[in-house]
Chains A and B, each alone.
Chain A
Amino acid sequence: MGAYLTRRFLLMVLTLFGMSVLIFVMLRLVPGNVADILVDSAGIADPKEKAKIIAELGLDRPIFDQYLQWIGGLTRGDLGFAYVSERPAIEEIAPRIPISAKLAGLALFFSVILGVPLGVISAVRQNTGLDYMLRVISLSGLSLPSFWLGLLILMASVQWFGMIPIYTNEPRSFIDEMLLLSIPAAAVGFRSSALIMRLTRSSMLEVLRQDYIRTARSKGASQTSVNYEHALRNALLPVVTIVGIEAAFLVGGLIVTETVFNIPGVARFLVEAILWRDYPIVQNLVMLIAFVVVTVNFLVDMAYMALDPRIKFAD
């Protein structure tokens, strides 16, 4: 187990190193740099002013030096200076992470809390009216674009309640914030819950046909015990994988929701930073997302072991 964990840790470090090189190089392959864009935004294209900005930001230095400076800083916790705002990148990034994390966490909570039980119900009531209804709901969850759903929620709120649930003022308390985030989280969670529900259903159907389920039933186990103790635990393995993937996606993939509900989170900021070629912001944010994805993957692997005792990680 110890050797396995060490191997996994080293693999994580290697993946993150590969990601850092990839991000760094790819960003510089995109046409136009921040100097082009800063000058362009003023409606001019003066080469002298551009050259001055390039020198000021150190973009005229060899690319390898720039990479070393970034990685060196990262190991010391120094994320560098944002090119556009000219403030320390950490000051720009740090306040946005908790907002996106809370939104993603809440969305994930909604999707699991709805998706798993409804998937189980749909499976155990296969081909009944309830099953058909739940399948239609889940299909619509997958088909509705989240920006459309978001706008629909906003319009309905204005029309019926005369208010709009967008993030305009910093919430006064944690409860306020969670209430404010719950509507966009539900909009996002609806899609994810549909996905989880469908996967839980198909996984449950497969498990419910297994011999050991028949054995459990013949031993006199109650329906609830069969469904939730014997079947669900085994059916959850693919669901855990998809929850992991969704969790990783939600950290940086909430651009549409953050834009429609005006949430000052990481995803909206990342897109803006890419448009401005604000390298320090993009590099550090993408590295953060990569770190989250790698960590979640690791946790998912650990969860397999907890869910299925047959899975052992050999040293």
Chain B
Amino acid sequence: MRTRLALLAGGLAAFAVTASPAFAQKQGGTLRISHRDNPPSASIHEESTISVVQPFMAVFNNLVVFDPKEKINSPDKIVPDLAESWAYNPSQTELTFKLRSGVKWHDGKPFTAKDVKCTWDALAGKADEKSDLIRKNPRRVWYSNLKEVKVGSDTEVTFVLDRPQPSFLSILAAGYSPVYACHAQGRDMRSKPIGTGPFKVVDFKRNESIKLVRNPDYWKKGRPYLDAIDWKIVPNRSTRMLGFVAGEFDMTFDSDVTFPLLEDIKKQKPDAVCEARPSNVNQNILINPEAPPFDKPEVRRALVLSIDQKPFNDILFQGNALSGAAMLPPPAGFWGMPKEMLQTLPGFSADIEKSRAEARKIMEGLGYSKDKPLKVKVSTRNIAIYRDPAVILIDQLKNAYIEAELDPIDTTVWYTKVQRKDYQLGMNLTGLGVDDPDTAFYENFYSTSDRNYTSYKNPEIDKLIDQQSAETDREKRKKIVWEIEKKLAEDGARPVIVHNVAATCWTPQLKGVVLQHNSIYNGWRFEDMWLDR
């Protein structure tokens, strides 16, 4: 009996300890974070970088969000934000949201359904000509199925779709999908935005800092816990890491800590909490199919067959990166294909020597040899994270009689060059805002997408992309997704090398951090984090 009582008491004590964080959050304190570079602007809808989303997501709210307590973004784990509830019509083409009432923008004006309409009209390219809410729209393709947004009342709004699109709710739950204030000017949204979120922007000093303070009128009572968030822009990575070790910063920038740096940090600051996770950013090769020599499918295939992912992984990630096709592989990825299936794709074979022998045979058939190699240029942004894999690629291409030369491009004109198709091969990084095939395929492989950098055109793939997008049975959808991944790999459309894994560290005094494992762009609301000091 005594033993049982002791066990019960122990169990209760353990429960109290594990459950206590829910009751023990402390209010107050300023969270200090280092930022890796200068965000191009503060307008999330206009940019495509974590440099903007991580600091500014806390200023806004979405209609819905991926559950911030869950590590994996899943369509089954979407929770209300500015919308209290939502429902589809029977044909799944109308998604109606019931909105919270009494929510105010940071300037005191009320939030209504008109703001929702205004935001998505602008994103779908249907806004008034005079509207200047956004001037760049990198994710227009996300809303190509959005027919219109109808305002039912101040607290009801309906998204009308051309056809059913099960991913639509996930898209709205992304960090890239905040609701903007209709009455705001685009210029203000880029420099000192207003939102309905837990933090207000005090100041955004270019090249220096971003200061956010607690929104005392936040609609979620008791949140946020922090008084302020102080971002310091520190372009030098060594300085950022030393600053974290010295206690100048409470948290590193997301995925800023590479594996060699992780070892240093653990040595110098043993109490640091560090978590390595996939970022859903993959390294891939852009192949220009419109110009020789890669206009020939055989050359593209030989290139793909010559690649061995292991050295990339070992050199750049100490063996921690993930092998996958266009979608992030499981278990972090929701849609990636199983390993056995992956190994049947070109470029993923376990027998690399056999693949390379096949590549050489193809190239010999085209008249190339060791003495008469195919000479090409590998273009890439002139920054280390792009240049390093490009150098490894150049080394590997020799196995298929391809002699490549590095062509480093000023990072500011990279996409302009890519759009002009002024390259043969390009080393590229692609990040996914939402772990969903719709964002991956429509953005990168659909024939009409602005961000289909290689202008890959395959009517069969377009049809399959549309088909999977409308498929409401998730298992059936997965099968179509895998078929698309297989065809893309066979076509040599942006062959994926590895899916990146990197670490983020924070001080043990910072609590409530939940890093999401299938996208770095979500989960940065900061409203549940608190400082225990």
Contact = CB atoms under 8 A, between A and B. Distances in A.
Interface of A: 31-32, 36-46, 49, 52-53, 56, 82, 84-87, 92, 151, 154-155, 157-158, 162-164, 166, 168, 259-262, 264, 268-269, 272, 275-277
B254 interface: no
B412 interface: yes
Contact of A36 (B48, B239, B412): B412
Interface in B225-240: 232, 234-236, 238-239
Contact of B205 (A37, A154, A264): A264
B40 A36 contact: no
Nearest to A263: B208
B135 interface: yes
Contacts of A42: 40, 46-48, 136, 138
A41 to B, nearest CB: 4
A163 B38 contact: no
A31 B239 CA distance: 31
A99 B191 CA distance: 23
Interface stretch (B8-16, B95-103, B413-421, B519-527): B413-421
Among B46, B236, B410, residue most surrounded by chain A Cβ atoms (within 10 Å) = B236
30 contacts: A31-B413, A32-B413, A32-B416, A36-B413, A39-B415, A40-B414, A41-B40, A41-B49, A41-B412, A42-B48, A44-B136, A44-B137, A44-B415, A45-B416, A46-B136, A52-B135, A53-B135, A85-B206, A86-B191, A154-B239, A158-B246, A162-B246, A163-B246, A168-B243, A259-B236, A262-B232, A262-B239, A262-B243, A264-B208, A268-B207
B187 A155 contact: no
Interface of B: 32, 38, 40-41, 46-49, 135-138, 187, 190-191, 205-209, 232, 234-236, 238-239, 242-243, 245-249, 268, 410, 412-416, 418-419, 450-451
Contact of B206 (A32, A45, A92, A163): A92
A264 B268 CA distance: 27
A56 B268 CA distance: 50
B54 to A, nearest CB: 16
A36 B412 CA distance: 8
B48 A260 contact: no
Contact of B413 (A40, A82, A166, A168): A40
A89 B268 CA distance: 42
A96 to B, nearest CB: 9
Contacts of B47: 41-42
Contacts of A154: 238-239, 242
Contacts, number: 126
Contact of B207 (A37, A151, A158, A264): A264
Given A38-B136, A44-B48, 9 more contacts: A31-B410, A44-B450, A44-B451, A56-B135, A84-B41, A87-B191, A154-B238, A154-B239, A158-B246
A261 B232 CA distance: 12
A269 B208 CA distance: 9
Contacts of B245: 158
B135 A259 contact: no
Contacts of B234: 166, 262
A306 B135 CA distance: 59
Nearest to A32: B413
Contacts of B208: 264
Nearest to A47: B419
A64 to B, nearest CB: 26
A56 B47 CA distance: 19
B412 A40 contact: yes
Given A40-B412, A262-B232, A49 B40 contact: no
Contacts of B242: 154-155, 158, 164
A259 B238 CA distance: 10
Contacts of B416: 32, 36, 39-40, 45
Contacts of A84: 40-41, 206
Contacts of A31: 410, 413
Nearest to B48: A43
B235 A86 contact: no
Contacts of A49: 135-137
A166 B416 CA distance: 36
A103 to B, nearest CB: 15
Given A44-B136, A44-B450, A269 B232 contact: no
A157 B268 CA distance: 13
Of A36, A162, A166, most B-chain CB atoms within 10 Å: A166
A111 B249 CA distance: 32
Nearest to A85: B206
Nearest to A82: B206
Contact of A39 (B136, B190, B191, B235): B136
B419 A45 contact: yes
Contacts of A166: 234, 239, 243, 248
A37 B413 contact: yes
A143 B368 CA distance: 49
